[in-house]
Amino acid sequence: MFASHRRDQILELLQRDKQVLVKDLAHRFNVSEGTLRIDLRILEDENLLERTHGGAVPVRAQGAVRDARDPSRSEVNYEEKRAIGRKAANLVASGQCIILDASSTVLELTKALTDHNYLTIVTNGLEAAMILNQNPRNNVILIGGVLRVGSKTVEGVLGKDILAGIHADLFFTSAEGISPQEGMTDFSLYEAELKKLMAANAHRTVALADYTKLGRRSIATSVLFRDIHTLITDKKADKEFIRHIKGTEVLIAD
């Protein structure tokens, strides 16, 4: 296969899957990982993708300026995310301490918690913190860190000392993908590391994932599948994927 043809196929895969991994591409095209890294560098120089640790993503996925006609992350599968968020809110009881990541799906949970009282909420999401701080009966703790470019998300592990002193009842999290082999995975290594700390300081971890994320994987693992206590997904979820889940509670949002 000519290099130009291979690069065209890489772009087709990226358009379809929204991510590519060097090791998978090397196996697919039967070439070395070094050759694939050269391909990705050339495509990046042409502004056709953006390289990440171990692979590549579409240019806009890393916070570049977005065309106003393109849906934001929060608008993709909005109805499914809203249903999942409302289902997750049923797990939260007055007086609990909960940790929320800054994902768009967990943001829908945040909106469903506005009438819950006497909660302690720990989050790295600026928007979630602002929404929940409007209720004076709740206590909101914002985790410090680096503000991600083009978003309302604080990432990094600068807030690990805050997390170390917290013993939460529940940790609600989402990801770019979730699979039995890799668990919950994200593009950002910094985001994944922060989520690891969040999970370690919560009694139970609740994964929120719409049907498009099941079976997908990204670069960095945040929570291993065996450490997920409850998975909440939607009614479009692949039944075979759900059927093979063992040891994790599965809830389906209507």
Per-residue model confidence as pLDDT tens digits over 137-173: 999 999 877 776 656 777 766 777 888 889 999 999 9
Per-residue model confidence as pLDDT tens digits over 30-58: 999 888 888 888 888 777 888 887 889 88
Q: Which fold has domain 3-62?
A: Arc Repressor Mutant, subunit A (1.10.10)
Q: Say what the pLDDT of residue 58 is.
A: 86
The DSSP secondary structure of 123-181, one letter per residue, reads ESBHHHHHHHTTSTTSEEEEPP-EEPTTSSBEESSTTHHHHHT--EEEEEE--SEEETT
Q: Say what the pLDDT of residue 62 is.
A: 40
Query: What percentage of the chain reaches a pLDDT higher than 90?
Result: 57
Start-end of CATH 1.10.10.10 domains in the chain: 3-62
What is the mean predicted confidence (pLDDT) over 180-198?
A: 89
Lowest mean pLDDT among 132-136, 147-151, 214-218: 147-151
For residue 4, what pLDDT band results from cuts at 50, 70 and 90? confident
User: 169: exposed, middle or buried (C-beta count within 10 Å: 0-12, 13-18, 19+)?
Assistant: middle
Start-end of CATH 3.40.50.1360 domains in the chain: 73-253
* CATH number assigned to the domain covering 73-253: 3.40.50.1360
In this structure, are strands 50-52 and 55-57 parallel, antiparallel, or unpaired? antiparallel
What is the mean predicted confidence (pLDDT) over 122-131?
A: 92
